Amino acid sequence: MIPWVREWYESYHGDEFTVISVHYPEFSYERDYDNVVDATQRLDVPYPVAIDNNRVTWSAYNQRFWPTLYLIDKQGHIRYQHIGEGAYAETEAAILALMAE
């Protein structure tokens, strides 16, 4: 999923669109800040990554699956959700529709 999210970030990032990744660790070594920084550099992740080691964001969204993608409008409402990989054309269409509003 990272290559697609990277492309959307690079194509649309600005006043109308941004990407924030929330990292909730699946394994203990993923809780370490330096390991997360290393992974973001190795995977060429240009957008911000919040670390959710205490499961605060994960719980607030009733998150259950990796990966899950949300599109949130300017008022903070979830307008689109996709669980798992795929549906990239559908997601990009949703991004463009929200940006057009």
pLDDT for the residue 92: 97
Is 68:49 a contact under the CB 8 Å cutoff? no
pLDDT for the residue 97: 95
Domain range summary for the chain, segments of one domain joined by +: 2-100
Taking the domain 2-100, which CATH number applies?
A: 3.40.30.10
- For the chain (101 residues), the mean pLDDT of every run of 10, in chain order, is 96 91 94 96 97 94 91 94 96 96 89
- In 46-92, beta strands by DSSP E: 49-51, 68-72, 78-83
